[in-house]
């Protein structure tokens, strides 16, 4: 009920200001679980895709987002709570695995789960290497993986910005991915990474982004290490 209320309240406003265009919505199944794998350019990616689809979509979100202070942060926390987003605690050795297992339970219960295979927002708008978590979910669930391309969200709310800007947003949803038998039969670690790579190829075809065969988190760490000691790198 809260999810539908958030759509009714926020949907018209989002359409009026940013005129989002959605193509390929027919690829999202009308019922049953499915994995929506998208590129990640801005924090608002997790707002626009769920509100533009007829079915609820659950994402994982950092636990600090649920308790952040400040007007904009409180509004974001309210949205996360009202749409039943998955709270993710990044601390602890099993944090990532616990999140994947919680996502698997949601998928097996027939829900749509949105995942960003890059693992974090792109630091510069390019598309980065996918992490194997999306492959783990695909193999464990046996459910469809549907690639999604988010376009324009970085321009509306760049990393480090608080207030969104005018702009045009487009969401491109591709057909479900088919993984050949040789990928599915590969050793688990190799199969997970090969699935992630095929997912990123499909996303790149939707968005046209330049691809970087490096993990985004590693690139961010390198930028932080290269920054002058008295100057913090821009948060992304």
pLDDT of residue 89: 67
pLDDT tens string 80-89: 666 667 766 6
Model confidence at 5, pLDDT cuts 50, 70, 90, reads: very low
DSSP count for the chain of H helices, then E strands: 9, 10
Q: When comparing pLDDT for 83 and 47, which is higher?
A: 47
Task: Note the residue count of the chain.
Answer: 236
Coil/strand/helix, residue 79: helix
Q: What is the pLDDT of residues 167-179, one digit of tens each?
A: 889 999 999 999 9
Share of the chain above pLDDT 90, in %: 57
Burial tier of 16 (Cβ tally within 10 Å: 0-12, 13-18, 19+): exposed
pTM of the model: 0.86
**What is 2-57+91-226's CATH superfamily?**
Glycerol-3-phosphate (1)-acyltransferase (3.40.1130.10)
Q: List the domain boundaries for the chain.
A: 2-57+91-226
Q: Are strands 21-23 and 34-38 parallel, antiparallel or unpaired?
A: unpaired
Neighbouring residues of 70: CB distance < 8 A, sequence distance ≥ 6: none
Q: Which residue has the higher pLDDT, 113 or 10?
A: 113
Mean pLDDT, to the nearest integer, of 13-18?
72
């Amino acid at each position: 009920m809260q999810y539908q209320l958030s759509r009714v309240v926020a949907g018209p406003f989002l359409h009026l200001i940013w005129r989002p265009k959605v193509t390929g919505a027919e690829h999202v199944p009308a019922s049953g679980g499915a994995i929506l794998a998208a590129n990640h350019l801005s924090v608002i990616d997790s707002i626009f895709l769920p509100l533009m689809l007829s079915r609820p979509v659950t994402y994982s979100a950092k636990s600090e987002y649920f308790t952040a202070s400040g007007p904009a942060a409180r509004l974001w926390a309210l949205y996360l709570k009202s749409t039943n987003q998955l709270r993710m605690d990044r601390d602890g050795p099993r944090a990532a695995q616990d999140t994947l297992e919680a996502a698997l339970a949601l998928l097996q219960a027939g829900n749509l789960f949105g995942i960003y295979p890059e693992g974090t927002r792109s630091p510069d708008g390019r598309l980065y290497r996918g992490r194997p978590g999306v492959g783990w979910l695909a193999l464990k669930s046996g459910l469809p993986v549907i690639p999604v391309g988010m376009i324009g969200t970085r321009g509306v709310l760049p990393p480090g910005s608080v207030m969104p800007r005018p702009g045009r947003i487009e969401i491109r949803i591709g057909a479900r991915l088919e993984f050949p038998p040789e990928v599915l039969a590969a050793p688990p670690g190799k199969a997970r990474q090969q699935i992630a790579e095929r997912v990123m190829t499909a996303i790149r075809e939707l968005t046209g982004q330049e691809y970087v065969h490096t993990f985004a988190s590693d690139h961010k760490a390198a930028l932080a290490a290269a920054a002058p000691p008295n100057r913090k790198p821009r948060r992304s």
